[in-house]
Amino acid sequence: MTHYRSKPLDKHGRIRWSAEENRIWHDLIHRQHKRVENRACDAYLSGLAMLDLPTSKAPQLSDINHVLKAQTGWQVVPVPALIDFEHFFALLAAKQFPVATFLRSRDEFDYLQEPDFFHEVFGHCAMLTHHDFAHFTQVYGQLGEHASHTQRVYLARLYWFTVEFGLVKQKGECKIYGGGILSSPGETVYALESPEPERAAFDLQTVLRTPYRIDIMQPVYFVLEDIAQLYRLTCLDVMNQVNQAIRLGLLPARFKSKEVNHA
CATH number at residue 45: 1.10.800.10
The answer to whether residue 257 sits within a structural domain is no
**pLDDT average, residue stretch 58-87:** 95
Helix or strand (DSSP H, E) at 96: strand 96-100
Domain count, the chain: 1
pLDDT of amino acid 81:
76
pLDDT of amino acid 253:
95
Q: Could you give the CA distance from residue 208 to residue 259 in angstroms, rounded to a whole number? A: 24
pLDDT of amino acid 1:
55
The answer to whether residue 154 sits within a structural domain is yes
pLDDT at 115 over 60: yes
The answer to whether residue 3 sits within a structural domain is no
Prediction pTM value: 0.95
Instruction: Catalytic residue, from 21, 164, 184, 187: name it.
Output: 164
Judge whether 164 counts as a catalytic residue.
yes
The answer to whether residue 10 sits within a structural domain is no
Q: Could you give the CA distance from residue 22 to residue 57 in angstroms, rounded to a whole number? A: 4
Range of the domain at 53: 19-248
The answer to whether residue 151 sits within a structural domain is yes
pLDDT at 217 over 90: yes
Long-range contacts formed by 9-14: CB under 8 A, 24+ apart? 9/61, 9/78, 9/101, 13/60, 13/61, 13/62, 14/60, 14/62
Instruction: Catalytic residue, from 124, 130, 184, 187: name it.
Output: 124
Judge whether 33 counts as a catalytic residue.
no
Judge whether 124 counts as a catalytic residue.
yes
- Residues annotated within the binding site are 119, 124, 164
What is the band of 259 on the pLDDT scale with cuts at 50, 70, 90? low
- From 8-22, 44-58, 101-115, 148-162, the region with the lowest mean pLDDT: 101-115
The answer to whether residue 110 sits within a structural domain is yes
> What is the dihedral sign for C-alpha 33, 35, 41, 44?
negative
- Residues annotated within the binding site for Fe cation are 119, 124, 164
Q: Could you give the CA distance from residue 35 to residue 50 in angstroms, rounded to a whole number? A: 19
Contact 4, 81 (CB under 8 A): yes
Q: What DSSP assignment string belongs to 158-212?
A: HHIIIIIT-EEEETTEEEE--HHHHT-HHHHHHHHH-SSSEEEEP-HHHHHH---
Q: Could you give the CA distance from residue 98 to residue 78 in angstroms, rounded to a whole number? A: 6
